[in-house]
Structure 1
Amino acid sequence: MNWDAIGAIAEVVGGLGVIATLFYLSIQIRGSNRIASAQSRQSMSEFASAISRFRAENADRYARIATGGELSAGDREFQYWSHMQMLIYGETHFHQYQLGLMPESHWQGFASFLVSYIESKGFEDFWNREATSFSQDYTAWINDQIKARGNK
């Protein structure tokens, strides 16, 4: 066996090593992506739990706002931050879906919930003042939902 043959064998072994390394890395990247997606969903679930807890702790205020009666300055402030909180949460979902980090079925369920939220008392006034606080694509989506609801 001469040096050329040994060099050729070394190249083949090196090439196989590169292929094995790429295969291993692809498995690691896929696993890492799954973990990142799960962490993203977990974070969104924790956000949803915080909103639910906030709403449960303030159920009396939500009931007062929902009846449409006379609201105190504190009730109006509460309503403002309730809308802001829900829309920030909605924007997070929207962008997670746009980035492909949320399945269509999860987004559709949440989108239906958000569309029904748009009909809540005081939302229109809030949106007219604060729409520019959100990203353009999310704002466009909300505006489309408002238009669609207005046409029904």
Structure 2
Amino acid sequence: MNWEAVGAIGEIIGALSVLITLLFLSFQIRQNTTALQQQSSRESTSSLQQVSATMMHPEIAKAVSSAYAEADADLSIAQTAQLEHHCLAYLLVLQQDFLDWNKGIHPHAIWESRKPLIEAIFIAQRAREWWENVGKNYFTPDFQSLVASILTKEARDGGQYFKPLKTK
């Protein structure tokens, strides 16, 4: 065997090593992407649960549910502040979901399941007024555009969130 043959065998082994390394890295990247998506979904769900837990406080539940029970709810300043923070807390979590989805970190199916939550927040006329006058300034332009497209639609059930839940 001459040196040219040894060199050719070395080149083949080197090329195979590079190919195997690239395949391994591709597999690792795919696993990492899946892990990031799972982590993003868990964090989002956990954040939404924490926000929802605030509704267990009777005072907050009363203020927020008043805004959703009737289209022109007459809220005190304190109740308006509670409604604002309720909307803000939910929308900040949902904006992060939107941003993660845009980057490919958040699974498409999870993001699609979050859109109805945004629509539900804006059933209340007071929530819509808050967004237009104050709230939208706290959010990114892309998320503002998403919400603007939602607000072009009429609020479900004439702005009465609990209407479908009432028994006859």
Please classify the TM superposition score into its range, dividing by the shorter chain length: 0.7 to 0.9
Task: Write the letter of the residue equivalent to 1:59.
Answer: A
> Which letter maps to 1:8?
A
Q: TM-score, normalised by structure 1?
A: 0.86
2:90 maps to 86
1:59 pairs with 2:64: no
Larger RCO, structure (CA 8 Å, separation 6 or more): 2
Whether the aligned pair in 1 keeps the contact of 2:41 and 2:110 (CA below 8 Å) is no
TM-score (norm 2): 0.79
Following superposition, the deviation at residue 21 of structure 1 comes to 0.9
Once residues 74 and 142 of structure 2 are traced to their aligned partners in structure 1, the CA distance between those partners, rounded to angstroms, is 35
Matches within 5 A, 1:140-151: 140-149=145-154
TM-superposed CA distance for 1:65, in Å, is: 3.8
Give me the CA root mean square deviation.
Answer: 2.1
2:123 to 112, 119, 127: 119
Identity within the alignment, %: 21
Other-structure match for 2:166 = none
Where structure 2 has 5 or more consecutive residues not aligned to the other structure, the ranges are: 159-168
The one-letter amino acid paired with 2:23 is: F
Structure 1 gaps of 5+ residues are none
Secondary structure at the counterpart of residue 148 of structure 1: coil
1:99-122 alpha-carbon deviations (Å, 9 max, x no partner): 333344333332122112212141
Q: How big is the shift at 1:96? A: 2.5
Separation in 1, partners of 2:45, 2:21: 36
Measure, in 2, the Cα distance between the counterparts of 1:47 and 1:122.
24
Greater helix content: 1
Shift of 1:62: 2.6
Superposed CA offset, 1:52-97 (max 9, x none): 1112233233334444654333222111111111221221222233
Q: Does 1:109 align with 2:102?
A: no
Cα distance in structure 1, aligned partners of 2:149 and 2:56: 30
- Please say if 1:25 is aligned against 2:25: yes
Task: Provide the aligned length of Structure 1 versus Structure 2.
Answer: 151
